[in-house]
Chains A and B, each alone.
Chain A
Amino acid sequence: MNKRVMAAVLWPLGVLSLVAGVAAVGRTAPEPERPSVGPVMKPDTGAGEMLLVVLGGVFETREEAEAANASMSFGDVQGYYVVPVGQFQGFREQLPVSGEHGLVSVFRTEEGAQEFVALASAMGQPAQILPRRVRSLGGVYAGLGQEATPDGSGPLVAPIADSLP
């Protein structure tokens, strides 16, 4: 009799714990990756345009620059881009130290550059706007297009008067 009572109590308890366990595992399992997202923007190099550069550092080799960039945390948003110094005309002359690769993000508007400096400083990263605009010779993507249009309608994805040579 006792065994039957024990079995009657333990079986449902066992089944309930199993179901609870499965539910808990299923509920806490994270998605392996971020779900599908919006359109992939075309990398805009602004070739021929006069751009503002926010500089995060200068390094002799690409490897050093990549390592420094990887160590800088910008949370889950994009921070600096590694570019060769020769990618911009008038860039090398303004560097605070000599080197062949820089950590940069480039902008068409002063407001965009200032906003990125604010982002970098909020995250405790170095950032300085170079005093003079540089001419883009094309090359690798350096962050252009991640700023607002002056009229506030959306992202700035085309040249403006200040960026035209």
Chain B
Amino acid sequence: MGSSSDPHRGRRRRHLLPVAAVSAVLALAPLLLAYHWAKAGWRDWHYNYPATPTGYSQIVNRFGQPCNADASRISMSWPAADNGRTYTLGFHRKLGGYPTEMVANKGGRSTNLDNDVYGHIQNDHLGPYTKSGIWGYFCRYIKNTTTWSTHAWGIALDISASYEPMGQCYSTVNKYFAHVFRNHGWRWGLDFCDPMHFQYAFGY
């Protein structure tokens, strides 16, 4: 007889289960969060961003002539989630390359793109939405024109080009992280039906 015959024992155990689960979550959550933030030592610096230019004259005043040496001075690696390929893209030294916990000193002047934007995307677990076709600096004109693309200043990025073709006025994957770019001074090309494109300029 004794305790094994206690008819309420099973019910008490069932009542204890949720309490135990909540306690475990409460105990583990801070540990997991601490690990998550500390594992790479990432921090959003927001250091020394240039003002986002509006129009051609301001772009040239702030970033120099198209295809100048600073336009491709900094490079970073960006893995695509779908094909496993890691793309190497160049960009202007005013948009990154400043030494942080995540970025080695590359002679850049701010923490914008490589530390802050990329860091946010990774820490917010939005990396799986950055798909194949990731490019930065190119000394080229805008398609079917003889007008410089913002890529020629190293102030533009194409992401998920395979999924977000130029001319498509909606987004399938870049919409999940576009807000990160916008919050760091970038304009999203969806505004002019080019959803793969992000640029650090307005009015162009």
Chain A: residues with CB nearer than 8 A to chain B? 30-43, 73-79, 112, 115, 119, 122-123, 141, 146-149, 152-156
Is there an interface contact between B145 and A76, defined as CB atoms closer than 8 Å?
Answer: no
Contact of A78 among B142, B190, B196 (CB under 8 A): B142
Inter-chain contacts of A115 with B (CB < 8 A): 138-139
Q: A152-B69, A153-B68, A155-B65 are in contact. Are A40 and B146 (CB under 8 A)?
A: yes
- Closest Cβ of chain A to B171, distance in Å, is 10
Inter-chain CA distance A75–B199, complex, in Å, is 14
Inter-chain CA distance A77–B161, complex, in Å, is 12
**Is the CB of B37 closer than 8 A to any CB of chain A?**
no
**Is the CB of B169 closer than 8 A to any CB of chain A?**
yes
Q: A30-B191, A75-B166 are in contact. Are A112 and B140 (CB under 8 A)?
A: no
The secondary structure that dominates the B interface is: loop
Contact of A77 among B64, B69, B146, B151 (CB under 8 A): B151
In order of increasing CB-CB distance, the 10 nearest A-B pairs are: A152-B69, A154-B65, A38-B56, A77-B140, A148-B67, A34-B192, A41-B146, A76-B166, A155-B67, A78-B141
* Given A30-B192, A76-B166, A77-B140, 20 extra CB contacts under 8 A: A32-B193, A34-B192, A35-B203, A35-B204, A37-B147, A38-B204, A39-B147, A41-B146, A43-B146, A75-B135, A75-B143, A75-B197, A78-B143, A122-B135, A147-B139, A148-B67, A152-B68, A154-B64, A154-B68, A155-B139
Inter-chain contacts of B204 with A (CB < 8 A): 35, 37-38
Task: Count chain B residues whose beta carbon lies closer than 8 angstroms to a beta carbon of A.
Answer: 41
Inter-chain contacts of A149 with B (CB < 8 A): 67
Inter-chain CA distance A141–B193, complex, in Å, is 27
**Is the CB of B133 closer than 8 A to any CB of chain A?**
yes
- Closest Cβ of chain A to B185, distance in Å, is 17
Q: A39-B56, A155-B66 are in contact. Are A148 and B161 (CB under 8 A)?
A: no
- The residue on B at minimum CB distance from A111 is B139
Contact of A38 among B87, B143, B144, B148 (CB under 8 A): B148
Inter-chain contacts of B142 with A (CB < 8 A): 34, 37, 76-78
Inter-chain contacts of A123 with B (CB < 8 A): 133, 135, 161
- Closest Cβ of chain A to B68, distance in Å, is 5
Inter-chain contacts of B192 with A (CB < 8 A): 30-35
**Is the CB of B108 closer than 8 A to any CB of chain A?**
no
Inter-chain CA distance A156–B152, complex, in Å, is 13
Inter-chain contacts of A40 with B (CB < 8 A): 145-147
